[in-house]
Amino acid sequence: MPEALHVSEADAVQWDESADFVIVGYGGAGVSAAVEAAERGLDVLAIDRFDGGGSTAMNGGVYYAGGTSVQEEAGIEDSVEEMYKYLKTEVGDAVQDETLREFCETSPESIEWLKKHGVGFNSRAYMKKINYPDPTYYLYHSDNSLNEARQKIARSAPRGHRVQAPPKDMPTGYGVYLTGPLSKSAEDLGVRFRPQCEARQLIVDDTGSVIGLVVLEIPTGTPAWEERRKLQARANRLMTLLPPTFPGAFLTYGMANKVLAKVAKIEEKHRVSKRIRARHGVCLSAGGFIFNRPMVHHFAPQYDLGLPLGQPGDDGSGIRLGQTAGGAVGRMGKISAWRGINPPDTFPHYPMVNAEGKRYIDETLYMANIGDEMCERQDGVGFLILDKAGKKATWRELFFGKLMGFQRNPAILTMMMRSKKASTIEGLAKKLGIDPGTLRRTVEHYNRAARGEIADPLGKSAKDMSPIAEGPYYSVDVSITNNLLPMTTMTVGGLKVEERSGRVIREDGSPIDGLYAAGRTAVGICSNIYVSGLSMSDCVFSGRRAARHVAAKADGA
C-alpha cells in the first residue's frame, strides 16, 4: 500500500472526477452511508474492488435491535434501556457509554429506516436459546440475554432480527436482502456506484486533510473489465468453498491462486489510474482483515486455525489505506471466534474442560464468549464430557431434531471422529492426557452443582446442567484444532474513530479532516464480545453516522 500522496492544495491536482462524498467499499456500512448521504442531498460516488455487498451480503442476515416495532408485533416487551443495560455487559469499553447509548436509542428508528428502503422483517419469534434458529423463524435470542446471570442485569428479549428472505439450509447469503434493497434505494437517489474499482492511494493537502484519492480501474463495460469481473468472482467462490484448515482446501486455494494470477495479468495490462476529488469526505468501509492470513498471524496467531468469516476483500486494505494518512488502529488482536455448541441442545448441559481437566466457562453462553475464552486463555482447547445418556440424547437430536445442515453435519462428523470413550472418568482422562484426579474432581463438583447442592462457581444455573451419571463416558473435542467442526472467526479491530462523527483519528486523538471509517474497517460497537447481528447493525449505525457528519460539514461550507 503506497503512502498517501501529499499536495499543497486541491487546486494543485488535475482531477479526473469529483463528488461530495466518496465511499470506499460498498457493503453494509458503505451502502448505508451512501443512502443516508444521498438522502441529505450530497453527490455520492461509491467504489468497490468487487461487485458490492461485501461480507454483509454473505452473512446470516441478522440485525441486532431493541424496542422495535417488529418485537411489538410479536407481543414481545423490550426497551432501549433494557437493550443498553444488557449490551453494556458485552460491549465493555470498546466504545464510550454515550456512543453505546446512542446506538441503542436509535435502534428502533434504524429498523424503520431499513423498512422504508425495502428491507423486510418478520415477527415470528423463536424463544429458546440457540445459535441460529430454523430458517422459518426471524426473531430470536442472538445473545446471552437468556443467561440467568445476565437476566439479573437486564430483562431478556429476542433482539436478533433476521431479514425476511426465502429459507435455506445454510446461515449464509441472507444479508443480501439488506444490501440489495439499500443498493436499489441508493441508485434511485442518484448514488453513482463503480464496481471493480480499487482505491489505491489517499490524497492529503498541507493541512493534513484528506481531499481525494487515486483509484485503479479497467474502463467499465470493456471486454477486459468483463473478463476480470468473471475471473475475480470465480476466485472468490473457490476461496470460500472450504475452510482453509479443511481436508482438500489446499486444492481449492491453489485453484483460486491460479485464477488470481490471470486477474493480475489483466489488471497490469488494462487498468488505468484516476484521481477523484472528494469535496467533503472519504469513507473507508472496506471490511476487516480476516482473509489476510499473514496479518491475522501477526496480530492474533492463536486464531490461525479459525475459519475466516467474510469474503476475500476482507484483507485489511481499507485499514492500511487509513494508516497511510496517519490513522491510528485499535483492537487489532481482537478476533471474534464462534465456538457453537448449541445445537445439539445436549452439549451445553454438560461440562467442557481444558487441557488440565478444569471447567472455565458457563457452557450455555453465546458462542463468541466461549470462543473468546477458549482461544485467549485456554490455548484453544475444549473437551465436552458426556455420559451414556448424554451421548444417546445427542445422537437422537442429530438424527431426528430440526437442525440445519451446517449444524447437523459437523456435529455428526465430530461425534464419529473426534470423540473418545472409556468405561470410567479416570480412563477417559488418561486418553485425553489429563490428570485423572483433576477430571474426577471437576465431574464431582459439576454433579453437585447440577443437583443444586452448591452454586456453580461459573454461574451456570442448575436447570441447565445434566449430572454425569452412568457410563461409559465420552469426550467430544470442540477445540479450535478440530477441523471437522470449524471455529468461525472475524476481525473486529480496525481504525480508531472519533465516536461522535466517525472521523478517523491519529495516535494523539486528533481527527483527520475528510477521512471517515465505518463497519469492520473501524473499531466499533462489536469490537469486544460479539453477539449475532451486532456487526450488521453497527455497519448501518456507523455508515449513517459518517454520512450525517459529512452532510453537516457540507451545509456549513
Task: Give Cα 196 distance to the centre of its chain.
Answer: 24
CB 534 within 8 A of CB 525: yes
Amino acid at 296: V
- What residues contact 265, with CB distance under 8 A and at least 6 apart? none
Is the predicted pLDDT of residue 305 greater than 70, yes or no? yes
Q: Span 533-552, mean pLDDT? A: 98
Query: Greater confidence, 169 or 129?
Result: 129
Distance CA 140, CA 129 (A): 8
Name the 3-class secondary structure at 455: coil
Give 272-302 pLDDT, tens digit per residue: 999 999 999 999 999 999 999 999 999 999 9
Give 163-194 pLDDT, tens digit per residue: 999 887 677 788 999 999 999 999 999 999 99
Task: Give Cα 13 distance to the centre of its chain.
Answer: 38
Q: Span 322-329, mean pLDDT? A: 99
Give 496-506 pLDDT, tens digit per residue: 999 999 999 99
Query: What does the pLDDT read at residue 508?
Result: 98
Query: What does the pLDDT read at residue 244?
Result: 66
Query: What does the pLDDT read at residue 62?
Result: 96
CB 509 within 8 A of CB 342: no
CATH 3.40.640.10 correct for 5-58+173-218+272-335+488-556 = no
- φ, ψ (nearest 5 deg) of residue 285: -140, 55
Query: What does the pLDDT read at residue 404?
Result: 79
Query: What does the pLDDT read at residue 63?
Result: 98
Distance CA 368, CA 523 (A): 17
Distance CA 59, CA 346 (A): 26
Query: What does the pLDDT read at residue 243?
Result: 65
**Predicted confidence band at 238 (pLDDT cuts at 50, 70, 90)?**
confident
**Closest by alpha carbon to 2, among 329, 327, 324, 328?**
324
**Closest by alpha carbon to 92, among 539, 526, 535?**
526
Query: What does the pLDDT read at residue 354?
Result: 98
Burial degree of 436 (CB within 10 A; 0-12, 13-18, 19+): middle
Share of the chain above pLDDT 70, in %: 99
**How is the chain split into domains, by residue range?**
5-58+173-218+272-335+488-556, 62-162, 219-270, 340-422+454-477
CB 417 within 8 A of CB 484: yes
Which CATH number is 340-422+454-477's, of 3.90.550.10, 2.40.30.40, 3.40.50.12280, 3.90.700.10? 3.90.700.10
What DSSP character marks residue 16? S
Grid cell of 399 as nine digits: 438424527
Query: What does the pLDDT read at residue 64?
Result: 98
Is the predicted pLDDT of residue 342 greater than 90, yes or no? no
Mean pLDDT, the chain, integer: 95
Give 47-95 pLDDT, tens digit per residue: 999 999 999 998 999 999 999 999 999 999 999 999 999 999 999 999 9
Give 245-266 pLDDT, tens digit per residue: 666 777 888 898 899 999 999 9
**Predicted confidence band at 317 (pLDDT cuts at 50, 70, 90)?**
very high
Query: What does the pLDDT read at residue 267?
Result: 92
Is the predicted pLDDT of residue 211 greater than 80, yes or no? yes
Whether pTM exceeds 0.85: yes
Burial string for 409-431 (b: 16+ CB within 10 Å, else e) reads: ebbbebbeebbeebeebebbbee
Query: Greater confidence, 467 or 252?
Result: 467
Query: What does the pLDDT read at residue 131?
Result: 82
Residue 416 falls in which region: left (phi positive, over 0), alpha (psi -120 to 50) or beta: alpha
CB 292 within 8 A of CB 310: no
Residues paired with 126 in a beta bridge? 140
Is the predicted pLDDT of residue 556 greater than 90, yes or no? no
